[in-house]
Amino acid sequence: MPDPRALLLLPRPLDGFILADQARDLLRADGVVAADPPRVPYGAVARLPAPLRDRVARRTARRLLRALQGDLRAVAIFHPVQWPLARALLAQRPGAELWYGRWDRYEMAYDASPSMRVRLAALHEQAAERSALTFVVSGKLAELEREAGREAQLVGLAADSFPAPDPGRAVIAVSLGHLGWRTDWALLRAVADAMPELVLLLVGSWHEDECKQDPDFAWCRAAPNLVWLGRRSDQEAARLILCADVGILPFRVEPFNDAALPYRILKYARLGRRTISPELAGVQTWERAVTTAPDAQAFVAALRAQAGARSRPDAGLRAWALEQTAERVNAPLWERLRALGLA
């Protein structure tokens, strides 16, 4: 006798399926196989007139059964639009049972027209009545089945494949501004590689045309702990800095950068965040706000020293930064204006 099979009819390809982790778990069993959505989408078939819908479903069922290579014991569906195909499979393999998984109230979907909602409700009722095992993700969905006189097994949801970095070790850094020629991509790569606990929020436009030949830039573009947020308004950028422990200035150590005094240092400081920078002469102008690091190893140590600072912002640093008003820093210019009789 051919090996027994349970067939999971996936409403989407596995990687895009909301219950992918649970499906992958079931597929570890020798007898469980999955079928991707057919060429004619389930939703399109569900919208067809009943005779045509059943004809398409029967044709798809025959094709699936030819490829199955086993004795069909169970068919699992995850949406009522799959019921016509499941019904056609069960008609050809009457010894099989239906499993019906429900993670939402499909018949109430926002994108369904009133007529489609009626059709989905009917397909749901038919599938639920035939189901030998209805499994649902919430207590409310189980309650709805009980109210309809049916039983449902509460299974919940799994998110095995979703990353879970250790929140207790996380260091959140932010970089605000231009991401191109001036950026030391080799430094960022070395730091990100050495610090799996790092989350770096990159706020600003990145310039592929300036860096496309740089392998370190390519590595950084793909690194999961570098989060590329693009250009943001000042209002948004300020809130993103509030999410971070520390700001960074990832500039190359070059003559062009060495004398600069980047604005971002003051912007971080206005929110009580220090800046970590390579050893550039210009940043020493605001040494109150800056920690310099001579190499990647020192940069990593400085970042780790700031872990958790987002919950205890430096009030003294913030007060200093808020004092750097245009009127105050322009004092020598005002003095000259007054000397010229212009103020």
Q: Which helix (H) or strand (E) holds 127?
A: helix 114-130
**276 DSSP assignment:** E
Whether residue 253 is found in the same domain as residue 293: yes
Residue in 284, 298, 291, 294 with CA at minimum distance from that of residue 314: 291
Whether residue 203 is found in the same domain as residue 267: yes
Spell out where 169-308 has E strands.
171-176, 198-203, 226-230, 246-248, 275-278, 290-293
Cα(29)–Cα(199) distance, integer angstroms: 37
Residue 160 lies inside a defined structural domain of this protein: no
Tell me which of 103, 127, 154 is where a domain ends.
Answer: 154
Residue 219 lies inside a defined structural domain of this protein: yes
Residue in 250, 263, 253 with CA at minimum distance from that of residue 299: 250
Whether residue 119 is found in the same domain as residue 216: no
Whether residue 202 is found in the same domain as residue 263: yes
What is the residue-level pLDDT of the chain in tens, covering all 343 positions? 468 899 999 999 999 999 999 999 999 999 999 999 999 999 999 999 999 999 999 999 999 999 988 899 999 999 999 999 999 999 999 999 999 999 999 888 898 999 999 999 999 999 999 999 999 999 999 999 999 999 999 999 999 999 999 999 999 999 999 999 999 999 999 999 999 999 999 999 999 999 989 999 999 999 999 999 999 999 999 999 999 999 999 999 999 999 999 999 999 999 999 999 999 999 999 999 999 999 999 999 999 999 999 999 999 999 999 999 999 999 999 999 999 999 8
Spell out where 25-148 has E strands.
32-35, 71-77, 97-102, 133-136
Cα(42)–Cα(89) distance, integer angstroms: 14
Whether residue 140 is found in the same domain as residue 180: no
Whether residue 109 is found in the same domain as residue 218: no
Number of domains in the chain: 2
Cα(144)–Cα(76) distance, integer angstroms: 20
Whether residue 143 is found in the same domain as residue 229: no
Residue 17 lies inside a defined structural domain of this protein: yes
Note down the domain range covering 42.
4-154
Residue 150 lies inside a defined structural domain of this protein: yes
Whether residue 24 is found in the same domain as residue 76: yes
pLDDT tens digits for range 21-74: 999 999 999 999 999 999 999 999 999 999 999 999 999 999 999 998 889 999
Which CATH number does the domain housing residue 114 bear? 3.40.50.2000
Residue 312 lies inside a defined structural domain of this protein: yes
Cα(53)–Cα(314) distance, integer angstroms: 66
Cα(135)–Cα(220) distance, integer angstroms: 42
Tell me which of 128, 154, 180 is where a domain ends.
Answer: 154
Whether residue 61 is found in the same domain as residue 135: yes
Residue 337 lies inside a defined structural domain of this protein: no
Whether residue 131 is found in the same domain as residue 253: no
198 and 173 Cβ atoms separated by less than 8 Å: yes
Whether residue 122 is found in the same domain as residue 215: no
Cβ-based neighbours of 92, under 8 Å, separated by 6 or more: 61, 62, 65
Q: Which helix (H) or strand (E) holds 44?
A: helix 42-47
pLDDT at 2: 61
For residue 295, count other CB atoms closer than 10 A to its CB.
Answer: 12
- Measured at the CA of 18, the angle between CA 14 and CA 22, to 5 degrees, comes to 70
Residue 327 lies inside a defined structural domain of this protein: no
Bridge-based pairing of strands 71-77 and 97-102 is parallel
pLDDT at 1: 44
Whether residue 122 is found in the same domain as residue 194: no
Residue 120 lies inside a defined structural domain of this protein: yes
